[in-house]
Structure 1
Amino acid sequence: MNSSAAAPFTPHHLAPGPDDPAAARLLAGWYATGRPATLTDHLSRYGPPLFAPLTGSRTSLPLVEAVAAAGLTGRGGAGFPTARKLGAVAARRGRCVVVVNAMESEPASRKDRFLIAVAPHLVLDGAVLAAVAVGADTVHVCLPRDRAGQYQQLSAAVDERRRTRPDPVRLRLHALPHSYVSSESTSLVRWLNGGPARPQGSPPRTHERGVGRRPTLVNNAETLAHLALIARHGADWFRQAGTPDEPGTTLVTVSGGIAAPGVLEVPLGTPLTTVLDRAGGPPEPLRAVLLGGFVGTWLPTAHLHTPLTRRDLAPLGAAPGAGVLIALPRSACGLAETARILAYLAAHSARQCGPCRLGLPAVAEDFTALAAGRADPALLSRLRRRTALLPDRGACRHPDGAARLAASALHAFADDVDQHLNHGPCRAAHRPPHIPVPSATPPETWR
């Protein structure tokens, strides 16, 4: 593992430049003080929400309308319009439930845990506002069981709120078993209902019947923090950053062959190369960048001037995903790195349906053989056929993401594929890995 990949994740310590005045929003308090915000800090910095719902009201339509006008989309990966999720839950009969997804099971991402560490009350404010907006009386905050420090930090913030200014809804923290698929929204609902933390593929949808068979809103931690700022500053303010089609800022975790790995806040529409430069730039020339995390897309360096928006990345078969950029130096083997990631994804599937139990392990094994230069003449055609069969067949999107990663690697590293197939593995395949990948050992328990 190289030193860049192993470096600790920290915020970028340079204040936003004059050409980028809107770059610090979620992290504004950290840039100003360099320390986590207490509740007193939070209230003195932001004040009360402009769209605070009246206590006891069934919903807060002004807040939902403000979020719709702002154009906020989910920052957890799917990019679904947040106001539509709020409206769908609020339209259901009966008391609703809100779930904060702070699992962040993507191994290359640090954005949510950093946000919760430095601005916990911004996340909790957004959750409470969303809860009252849709008519919920309880907020469940889901955190990974193996991050005790994060749980303690947020628990302290919740206790601080209870002592100082009790919220109009209940805040409950939960520590869930940690695997790649346990952060999927139906996994959270299934676990909160007493089942395993595995995706539930069959209907009904969570907004129809989720926790306790009640309409349930599931939102990512960063998404709710943005909502809390919209409630204070309004839609026009939110749209001052980003693009007309995709407004606002987003948190991005930058790692790999980069001088200063860390969590950055950038306006949507920022070119990928600019994001890398803000993280210190690459110490050596790059071979490619993995965008979106372990179920993301490999992009050759020719595409690094592409703006960070779903619209601009779609023609490349890519998306911002969970806000992850992993820079791969030219001295690394993209096939070997991909093989290790695919082995991890195969081990961390839910193992509930054919694509995860059979298809994904087969693709991972083929890719391992390709990376090691043990390829037989039929391997490439078999690998492409198996990869094409994975999408849209599983109970969740886990195999779809693995297929996207594998297909993009075959395209981005086409020259290496030819080398490995016909002449054996390249020299870089024998070097230490550049991308940290957790153990491929399957989770011991789902409860």
Structure 2
Amino acid sequence: MTQIHSLMRGLAPLLGENPYRRETRDAYWQAGGYRDLSPDLLFNRIKAAGLRGRGGAGFPAATKVQAVRASGSVPVVVANGAEGEPGSVKDRWLMRARPHLVLDGMLRAADMTRAARCYVYVADDEAADSMRRALAEREPVVPTWIVRPEHTYVAGEETSAIRRINGGPALPAAKPPRPFEAGVDGVPTLVANVETLARIALLAARPGTPDSLLLTVSGRGLKPELVEAPVGTSLQALAYRVDRLDTPGVLMGGMFGGILGPGCLKTTLEPSALAAAGSALGCGAVHFLTAGECPVGLAADGLARLAAESSRQCGVCVSGTAALARTMASVVHGTAGQEDLASLTRWSQSLLRRGACGLLDAAANLASSLLRSFGPLTEAHLGAHLGARCTDCSADRAPDPDRFLAEPPTVRTTTHPVSAPR
């Protein structure tokens, strides 16, 4: 079972006082939620705080809100909780344990953009039930619906959410237009990750709340942890927490941020530092390798997962992810040659920004980061160097695309009567 831990000084604002128990409307109201606040004042707080989206791309939240505010149309807001990255549990936990924090943030986003409708986009059964209860406990002033996609990697991409809400499949669409230009039913749409919305609610209730991140920390032999940490926390602090200071590498951001080498532990979890390291926060999933575990095998498993999750809409994605996965598997099995390594190098650059969504980019980044951080080790796996291959890889090693899976912490449901005002 995934455990919960805080690296914050004092109360962890996102985890709250009792992260293993579902919050009631009563408790949320008493903690300062659902209070009236000018949407312009809140927008200025978001802008001043420099809040970035927590769904993967890290785009400035104020810029996204402003694009919809300035559209001149009556927009729609989508709370995106699909969470397709297999190594992440934070969004499901937020909706299971802190549904009113998410709902408050969504309604404030609707207020700032003058939206006429809201949608909660969620794949997880327990999270969907929790959000339904929250909507019943605090009937929103803006009509709100829950929409359920299948739990797949690509379902959480923002155009996938739009297509599913519009009655189609949860598959990415070509861009432009982007959702802020034409989304649900063709009107400007703000698609915001549920952690982003939770941060908006915190900024409304308590200006000056320390900026923090929800991280899913995992690795072979580790009990996965949901960790709230200050923005700027180092990977070393997380590694110390889980006794992985001897890690040979770190898989960042689910699979979006690629693999960093053993010298990465001084890297801090903030956009500029991660970009300088050739990585990104992504969904906030941090996977530590254990001593003796091979990063080449890790990359092979990640690429097998991505190839299996392709929506099979873009020919370049279908062929590209399959080629990357197949070639990396041959490296692990010791049957690849220098020409295969050259192909991996070429594909890791030529496939970037070629697909309708970020899946192909994640695959290309995973391959390029392995070659950048572990080039000599990867070359040592080639057929010409069989005698030097590592003990973690073998000719009969099967891909393990499920090695990154984690389940959210157990959340107990409260049955206290609801008495706080609407």
TM-score above 0.5: yes
In the TM superposition, residue 180 of structure 1 has moved relative to its aligned partner by 0.9
Deviations for 1:243-263, whole angstroms, at most 9, x for unmatched residues? xxxxx1110100004655211
Q: Which runs of structure 2 are paired with 1:23-102 in the superposition (5 Å)? A: 24-30=12-18, 34-49=20-35, 51=37, 53=38, 60-102=39-81
Question: Aligned equivalents of 1:11 and 1:275: distance in 2?
Answer: 13
Deviations for 1:70-101, whole angstroms, at most 9, x for unmatched residues? 21110111111111111111111232100010
Q: Which residue of 1 aligns with 2:415?
A: none
Closer, same or farther: CA 289–45 of 1 in aligned 2, 3 Å:
same
| 8 Å CA contact retained: 2:96, 2:127 | yes
Match of 1:204 among 177, 180, 193: 177
Q: Which residue of 2 aligns with 1:253?
A: 216
The alignment's C-alpha RMSD in Å is 2.0
In the TM superposition, residue 397 of structure 1 has moved relative to its aligned partner by 2.2
Unaligned runs of 5+ in 1: 1-7, 54-59, 242-247, 439-447
Q: Which residue of 1 aligns with 2:109?
A: 130
Q: Which residue of 2 aligns with 1:262?
A: 225
Match of 2:239 among 276, 289, 299: 276
| 8 Å CA contact retained: 1:23, 1:249 | no
TM-score, scaled relative to structure 2: 0.89
Q: Which residue of 2 aligns with 1:428?
A: 392
Letter in 1 for 2:390: C
Q: Which runs of structure 2 are paired with 1:324-403 in the superposition (5 Å)? A: 324-403=285-364
User: Does 2:2 match 1:9?
Assistant: yes
Closer, same or farther: CA 258–64 of 1 in aligned 2, 3 Å:
farther
Question: Aligned equivalents of 1:47 and 1:316: distance in 2?
Answer: 38
Question: Aligned equivalents of 1:23 and 1:356: distance in 2?
Answer: 44
In the TM superposition, residue 334 of structure 1 has moved relative to its aligned partner by 1.4
| 8 Å CA contact retained: 1:64, 1:133 | yes
Closer, same or farther: CA 365–64 of 1 in aligned 2, 3 Å:
same
Aligned length: 399
Closer, same or farther: CA 50–159 of 1 in aligned 2, 3 Å:
closer
Deviations for 1:332-386, whole angstroms, at most 9, x for unmatched residues? 1211221121011112122222320212211111111111111134111112112
Letter in 1 for 2:26: T
Deviations for 1:293-322, whole angstroms, at most 9, x for unmatched residues? 122221112111111111111121111111
TM-score, scaled relative to structure 1: 0.85
Amino-acid identity (%) = 38
| 8 Å CA contact retained: 2:34, 2:104 | no
Q: Which residue of 2 aligns with 1:158?
A: 135
Q: Which residue of 2 aligns with 1:245?
A: none
Question: Aligned equivalents of 1:377 and 1:401: distance in 2?
Answer: 23
User: Does 2:305 match 1:317?
Assistant: no
Letter in 1 for 2:193: N
In the TM superposition, residue 50 of structure 1 has moved relative to its aligned partner by 5.3
Query: Higher relative CO (CA 8 A, sep ≥ 6), structure 1 or 2?
Result: 2
| 8 Å CA contact retained: 2:78, 2:118 | yes
In the TM superposition, residue 62 of structure 1 has moved relative to its aligned partner by 2.1
Question: Aligned equivalents of 2:305 and 2:315: distance in 1?
Answer: 17
Q: Find the residue that maps to 2:182 and give its secondary structure.
A: coil
In the TM superposition, residue 47 of structure 1 has moved relative to its aligned partner by 4.1
Unaligned runs of 5+ in 2: 406-422
In the TM superposition, residue 437 of structure 1 has moved relative to its aligned partner by 4.5
| 8 Å CA contact retained: 2:256, 2:280 | no
